Amino acid sequence: MLIELIDNLFFVYLILIFGRILGSWVPELQQTQVMQFIIFCTNPYLNFFRKIIPPFGMIDFSPIIAILCLSVIQRLVIGFIYAIS
């Protein structure tokens, strides 16, 4: 039950990051309330990676690294909870 909840929370955050990526391709979406919420939720996490990996021209690779790290963190957290239960 707890494992499923945490797994689902990671999945929702992953969807928010993908929404942020897709929304960045359509400038008109940046001003919508949904996109503002997504930006608010994902900025702290993505800004951490933007400090480490600067954009190359107009391409920002930091969300890709952020998604990979989120996946690793998810596996570690789920594995740890599974091990202690």
Residues 29-49: tens digit of each pLDDT: 889 999 999 999 999 999 999
Enumerate residues 6+ apart whose C-beta is below 8 A from 7.
Answer: 74, 78
pLDDT band at 80 (very low <50, low <70, confident <90, very high): very high
Q: Is the pLDDT of residue 1 over 90?
A: no
In this predicted structure, what is the pLDDT of residue 16?
A: 97
pLDDT number for residue 56:
86
**What are the sequence ranges of the domains in the chain?**
2-84
What's the whole-model pTM score?
0.89
Q: Return contacts of 75-81, CB within 8 angstroms, 24+ apart.
A: 77/6, 77/10, 78/3, 78/6, 78/7, 81/2, 81/3, 81/6
Q: Would you give the distance in Å from CA 26 to the centre of its chain?
A: 18
